[in-house]
Amino acid sequence: MVDKIAKMFYGNLAKGKILGAHCKDCGKWTFPPVAACRECGSRNISYKKISGKGIVHYYSTSILPPKKFAKYSPYAYGLVELEEGPTFLTMIEGLDASTPEKIKEGNENLPAKVRAKVSKKAGINVVLFRVVK
């Protein structure tokens, strides 16, 4: 089940479509999509395109990035809240994570609007967020 969802998720990313899990029972969204609703545990889920609009609340740096993303480090990694409701930690473009001072400065300007985009990193399509004005 998990593999099936991952396959569908990445298959859609390749077409530039970012899917979230929308619960048909409680109406809440889960992102990244999983088999069961994070709010109520229901498996009565439909997988639908998300708006891609969100807000970044805070960020830090990628001190210990996953091995496959090590070559992009340091990058900004922070808490994003989607318009649809779910919050998660993700890679964010447009924020300076190069030094502790820059990170402190950058956080003083938050929250800021972000927009999801599909990007190829380490040969795979990933969802990342970019700060928009």
Using the rule CB under 5 A, give the single segment among 29-37, 48-56, 64-72, 94-102 that binds Zn ion. 29-37
Q: DSSP assignment, residue 72?
A: G
If binding is defined by CB under 5 A, does position 46 make contact with Zn ion? no
Closest CA to 56 of 10, 99, 97, 9: 97
Q: Are 96 and 74 in contact (CB under 8 A)?
A: no
Nearer Cβ to Zn ion (37/92): 37
The distance of closest approach from Cβ of residue 82 to Zn ion in the complex, given in angstroms and rounded to an integer, is: 16
Nearer Cβ to Zn ion (39/81): 39
Using the rule CB under 5 A, give the single segment among 10-18, 34-42, 115-123, 124-132 that binds Zn ion. 34-42
53 burial (CB, 10 Å; 0-12 / 13-18 / 19+) is middle
Nearer Cβ to Zn ion (83/105): 83
Among 5, 12, 32, 39, binds Zn ion (CB under 5 A): 39
103 burial (CB, 10 Å; 0-12 / 13-18 / 19+) is buried
